[in-house]
Amino acid sequence: LAFVLRSLSSCRVLVVGAGGIGCELLKNLVLTGFKKIEVIDLDTIDVSNLNRQFLFQKKHVGKSKAQVAKESVLRFCPSANITAYHDSIMNPDYNVEFFRNFQLVMNALDNRAARNHVNRMCLAADIPLIESGTAGYLGQVTVIKKGQTECYECQPKPTQKTFPGCTIRNTPSEPIHCIVWAKYLYNQLFGEEDADQEVSPDTADPEAAWNPADAAARATASNKDGDIKRVSTKEWARSTGYDPVKLFNKLFKDDIMYLLTMDKLWKKRKAPLPLDWTEIHHLGACGTGLKDQQVLGVQGYAQLFHRSVETLRSQLIEKGEGAELVWDKDDPPAMDFVTAAANLRMNVFSMNMKSRFDVKSMAGNIIPAIATTNAVIAGLIVLEALKTLNSEFDQCRTIFLNKQPNPRKKLLVPCALDPPNPSCYVCASKPEVTVKLNVHKTIVQALQDKILKEKFGMVAPDVQIEDGKGTILISSEEGETEANNNKFLSDFGIRNGSRLQVDDFLQDYTLLVNLIHSEELEKDVEFEVVGDAPDKAPTPSVPEEGKNIANGNKDSAQPSTSSKAAEDDDVLIVDSDEEPSSSTMEASPESSNRKRKHHGTDTDDAASKRKRLDQQPADDDEDIIALD
């Protein structure tokens, strides 16, 4: 250890992320003796960061996190040599050769997309990676070393949960359904329209099985302005001049009355109750308590809806013709709109309404960040870094920080690192995966965007069909294969049993994709990864101390180092309803659940895998907490 401490001044390390964990980590590194540090983060400082990201002050709001963090840390150790990049770690400039410049990489990220990428770059460069994450009072740190430990993607992670469109549009039953609907509505009215985010009643709902002709005869929707017209929501709103009253009556009266004509939906459900702008003045206005924690009455939310629509309309006018707004939970008018619209819909469907604070937490999908958790995790990162730099990989551990002491009075629980998963489609010697899809319905663009990029985390894939001709299906070179984008896979002779070789040269990653043609996929399911989560995910075994943890991470969003709109490094964010991911380093359950599963098996090596630093008996599994 003394030798390591002496050599720290010449050790070159990379810190990815300069938010909550990143700030604590940078401070710890310079105070430990590290002198050559490079830090990268694309985010700028927001006022909401200041309660825990202590390297930043009010005067820094709007400035680069990486640059300000560098300047602040240099005050602790002026002799340190720190390089800051206000950039995305997924920028092609940061290639494998860039990663090979470091002896160690430390992640302080907030989402799976960025973690996947850094994981692959470190594997390609054969550089040790220390992964970490926090979620409220929970935290986790682990070490990833090519060929010796599991990589970040070795264990299957449950796919992000989504809600059927007919549930969002026709039959919401939980507040989150109404909040998702309100966010969709914001984009339909003021942002970038997305056909998958339609908010009007879904006449194709298979459960309704209604007769449109009969229902139309029974419909009592108003024929005045604001009546339902099956046109683009944004076009209709523009035609009314974004009139708040007309919008209100369309969304909460006319659309609801239209839904009521789909009478089969309401045989076993409580039917929705339409709202009329002219009749809401007697329905209650204000709540009590702190402003953000008040639950306003229907009148109060109607007034908030009216004000927010007027404000957002003004913002659109200021931006000019064809402008679009981007929803941001920290933008007061946008948050007002979603809070009001979601609560009015909750009232229509007889749900208890929520405060602005609750709606913001669900709409922004935030787990509150705890400064102390960040500090503990950052300290553990440095301890694991010292062992890693001293090549003591047998001493490295995955460490869980629990919310409260377990039965053995421990908050910190170390677990031995698992070896690589031989079937991992990232770090196996010959990565291979099988995908089930309909070759007659799947277009090349969907293969590229939804399967290769979104599901398998590639950045710039090149795809070649193994057909004996070397047919190039997708090229990362701009313009080379764009003509293929809207063609079906079957147009290229792809059928059941076809194989694709996929290369991502940025990640130095090659994946062999075996295709299975199927015409029996579930409704709204475009493809399935055979053997993928949740099918292979372990059955959770949740101890009492983990049961009150609520949510997880922002997997589908762009990483904080590659998206200006991304969130704080230490805050884990989900897309509306996703449960905590498995085997992630984001203080989530998979690693711990999986370890419980191994621990409870009868295999000879189970006990050896579960060695603690204090050599506790192998059957004493309360040392490992499953984070729910």
Annotated binding site: 17-22, 41, 49-52, 65, 88-89, 110-115, 151, 154, 424, 427
User: What's the rounded Cα separation, in Å, for the pair 65 and 89?
Assistant: 14
Can you say which residues are annotated as belonging to the binding site for ATP? 17-22, 41, 49-52, 65, 88-89, 110-115
Catalytic residue from among 11, 23, 122, 166: 166
Backbone angles phi, psi at 604, to 5 degrees: -65, -30
Half-sphere exposure of 342 (CA within 13 A, CB side): 31
Contact 192, 230 (CB under 8 A): no
Contact 40, 560 (CB under 8 A): no
Q: Assign 479 to helix, strand or coil.
A: coil
Half-sphere exposure of 549 (CA within 13 A, CB side): 30
DSSP string computed for 369-389: P-HHHHHHHHHHHHHHHHHHH
Peptide bond before 333: cis, by omega within 30 degrees of 0?
Answer: no
Half-sphere exposure of 36 (CA within 13 A, CB side): 12
Residue pointed to by tokens 């994946």: 511
Can you say which residues are annotated as belonging to the binding site for Zn(2+)? 151, 154, 424, 427
User: What's the rounded Cα separation, in Å, for the pair 240 and 455?
Assistant: 41
User: What's the rounded Cα separation, in Å, for the pair 62 and 559?
Assistant: 18
Q: The tokens of 539 are what?
A: 């059955």
**166 has catalytic annotation:** yes
Widest CA span of the chain, in angstroms?
85
User: What's the rounded Cα separation, in Å, for the pair 379 and 371?
Assistant: 13
Contact 460, 92 (CB under 8 A): yes
What residues act catalytically?
166
